[in-house]
Chain A
Amino acid sequence: MRKTILYLIFSSSFSINAQIDYSKLVVGRTTGEQLMHDGAMVRTFGFAETLSEDIKVPGPTIEVTEGDSIEFDFWNVSQGAPHTIHLHGLDVNQENDGVPSLSFEVLHMEHGFYKFKAPHPGTYIYHCHVVSTIHVQAGMYGVIIVQPSNGNQNQVWNDGEIYARDLLWTSSEIDTNWHTLTVLDHNHSSNTPHYVPADYAPQYFMINGESETQLSQESGYYYTGQNEKVYMRLVNIGYYGVRYIFPSSLNATTIASDGRPLPSSFENDTIEVLPGERYGTMIETGTDILYPVVVEYFNLNNQVVESSQNVIIKTSPLGIETENITGLKVTPNPSGSGVFNINSDILVDYSIYSILGELIIQGNSSAIDLSDEPNGMYFLQTENSIQKLIKK
């Protein structure tokens, strides 16, 4: 009820109410389970695009267009505590900022509506801001990408650099002691402090929710073409500092941070990204097949590097040109069974290739069955796009 009253008050003064260019349903849930590299299952909170979708950490990446009026319809289906969406870096007004004591909180089975005008093209974050120390660690976060208003989704901003593809790497950690029932299913009252565990000592240091062998095995590689410009979107939503060390042959040049162009770009193979920061770094692949990127996670209190992950960029002999076709979405991806569903209103002709370029299947059905194929990376090629499928 409180949320409804506040929303009515806020809407009366909110200038972009009249027209919404893009509305997005975001479902908040607390029943996620994340499979870790060692086989452990960790309970998580998180966001999804539909009620039936499994919770994944990070949540879905949401793309919007610069200048558009955006509405997030946030549906809290989580039983316990309320949740919110904080639009990190999007410079929204107080009403839509997602801090419960200053805007509104969304109770179980209620909807909350967040409205904003998409700002400068760049990389932003959304996350829950209710008992944020707990709920962000639990997994309630994802990335918002604002694309330039000129419609070119391979350009950093209007009149900015063109790239062949972008790779989004979101760093975070998991301390399993923060994922127990006692911590996650906390009592909630807006007016009383909340208990948090004494120490934060993560066991898992992740990129896009994966770590160790999940990243170093072929199914965890990130694919690009050869001699391509690749725009790295580096996001840190964890509680450690992260240091990316790119191979010098990639000529890493950082051109943006926190959704804004840097006044002066800088060439450096090493880029530190602290909690809440985002950097936009352009790299250029050559003809090498593998480019290993070292990602160090350092404790912000003593600056000791506590984990180092190897993330592999592999150049594909297929010469990938476009990552996704608009409106073509494949779920689940990754798939444990090897069956992928194409969520499209029309049947699309497709071909499936192995990572060596071998044709596996051709068809135009709404389901792709790779259950008889070995685990690994595959490419789904349609008339004008290629995207990767992962069978795990």
Chain B
Amino acid sequence: MIKYTLITLLCSISLLCSSATIDVRLVINSGSHSLTGGAFVAAKTYSVSNTFEDNSDIFIWNHDDIINLKVVNLDSEPHGLLIENHVNISSILSGDSVSQSFTLAEEGVFRYFDPLNSPFNEYLGLSGIVHVKSVLDTSSYFYWDIREIDSSWNELIILNTPPNLVDYDPDYFTINGVSSPDINMDVLARPTGIVGEEFKVILVNNGQSIHSMHFHGYHLTIATDSKRPSHVGRSKDTFPLYPREHLVLSCTPDKPGEYPVHDHNLVAVTGGQQYATGMFITMLIAE
């Protein structure tokens, strides 16, 4: 299943005035991504594990931390790594590795992805989320790496046959690599909150489709929008999310209950022609 790298607050209170140095070994693997109904598709992901994971890891770091990054390519093809505003490793040959140190000089949400064979390598799974927080930021965050899968695309890309975007017709829709109902088991994804206490949801579209995420029970406020900064401050219940766009949404619940969130392109709440096994998660709010 999904594995997350939560490298946060490692050195506790003493770090409030100083940065931490973090060693990260990031491995590029290929394997089979398990899908709804027992299906599998070929995929490639970044992970701190030596073995293939279904979804690329989510990294949560602190502002001003120093990252000693080593990227190891265990796949048979060359790959790179670009972390928006921070890292650009253009290519790593199969079996090779590249090391780079950098300081997290900018707070915010950043996509990381393979710039090679664009957009197909990142579509296959070589894309993820980096969240750089202020050390003083005590907000509760939840993370949604949103992507969809067209099984026929995966087959073609693995065979080095570039598919045509016009033919893109996904049949699986995932958050952090899994679909409903399994996504509710992911503590990093499933928003849980308490009435009166703010939490935030980070949505990153690492897929090729446009999504339209609808929240039941609540309007949320756009805190940041990477594609349309003029939308910050809008209070909405449905949020367009274009490919490569990321949003940070803020919610302060006023009532308890369990409230769904799903793509309102309702085809995306299916998977492998089954309803409701797609992009559908619930928020759980306690008194």
Contact = CB atoms under 8 A, between A and B. Distances in A.
Nearest to A135: B266
Interface string B242-281: 0000000000000111111001111101100111110000
Nearest to B254: A91
A200 B275 contact: no
B275 A196 contact: yes
B219 interface: yes
B266 A239 contact: yes
Contacts of A195: 273-275
Contact of B266 (A92, A132, A266, A272): A132
Contacts, number: 136
B237 interface: yes
Interface in B201-242: 208-212, 214, 216-219, 230, 233-238, 240
Contact of A260 (B168, B219, B265): B219
A274 interface: yes
Nearest to B165: A302
Interface string B140-180: 00000000101000000000000001111111000000000
Interface in A56-89: 86, 88-89
Given A91-B218, A93-B257, A258-B219, A303 B270 contact: no
Contacts of B258: 94, 102
Contact of A89 (B148, B168, B237, B265): B237
A301 B259 contact: no
Nearest to A186: B275
A156 interface: no
A131 interface: yes
- Among the interface residues B211, B217, B259, which one has the most CB atoms of the partner chain A within 10 A? B217
B267 A274 contact: no
Nearest to B274: A193
- Among the interface residues A197, A259, A277, which one has the most CB atoms of the partner chain B within 10 A? A277
A91 B237 contact: yes
Contacts of A272: 240
B282 interface: yes
A255 to B, nearest CB: 12
Contact of B169 (A97, A99, A194, A199): A199
Given A93-B255, A193-B274, A241-B210, A200 B166 contact: no
Interface string A143-187: 000000000000000000000000000000000000000000000
Interface in A213-231: none
Given A196-B267, A258-B219, A300-B209, 4 more contacts: A86-B216, A89-B219, A102-B257, A301-B148
Interface of A: 86, 88-89, 91-95, 97, 99, 102, 131-134, 136-137, 193-200, 239-241, 257-260, 262-264, 266, 272, 274-277, 300-304
11 contacts: A93-B257, A102-B259, A132-B266, A132-B276, A133-B270, A193-B277, A198-B273, A241-B212, A260-B235, A262-B234, A274-B265
